[in-house]
Structure 1
Amino acid sequence: RLMDQARGLEELGYDTHMIFVNTSLDVALQRNAERARSVPEEIVVKSWKDVQANIGKFNNFFKGRMVIVDNNDHNDNPFTEVWKRVQGLLRKKVTNTRATNWIASELAMKKR
């Protein structure tokens, strides 16, 4: 479903990226247990396993446009790392053909 959404956005001219915030199963279970509103442990385990099984597919689909962030350390705030990595993605040139054609067209009209 996620990749279908990304494909739809790409058809509209967007370059898509993925930020994957990863934790170990132990950390996911611990954080779930610490929440005021937790979900059953078996749901956490199934969701975690499903997501882990798809990392390779996501990586292949996003080809260099995927940021994987380790979020295992309870004391670390991953937002600084995410911010830096996202800024790097934003500095990349647009690669979507539809978008590059539109940019070229707009620049040509601007020169008139």
Structure 2
Amino acid sequence: MREEAKEWIGKAKRDLDAARYNYKGDLYEVAAFLCQQSAEKALKALYIEKFGELIKTHDLHFLAKKLGATSEIMDSCNELSTYFVESRYPGGYAKFGAQNVIEALRKAEMVLEWAKGKI
């Protein structure tokens, strides 16, 4: 594994751990944002491993498509992408309850494991 990809996977894992921590503290919008960040960093790790360079984008769908993701991973990325903006600004985070975050955690972990398995 390329060293840079390894670093990105490490950050993806830490973001997922931080998402779990924030979920336990009832900071659901923060947890949701960190789920998106975990997935993004995992996909970027795989992109670096596959193409040898970092791509600067926050578009999970684009990254997943470039990496040949399964439809299940694509669906997870589409859902997690909505958290990038909605979780950070007033008015958007009202929809983030415990059940939403449980699902976001599951999807982020799925993306992370998929990316790790491809590296």
TM-score higher than 0.5 here?
no
Give the TM-score of the pair, scaled to structure 1.
Answer: 0.30
Instruction: Report the structure, 1 or 2, having the larger helix content.
Output: 2
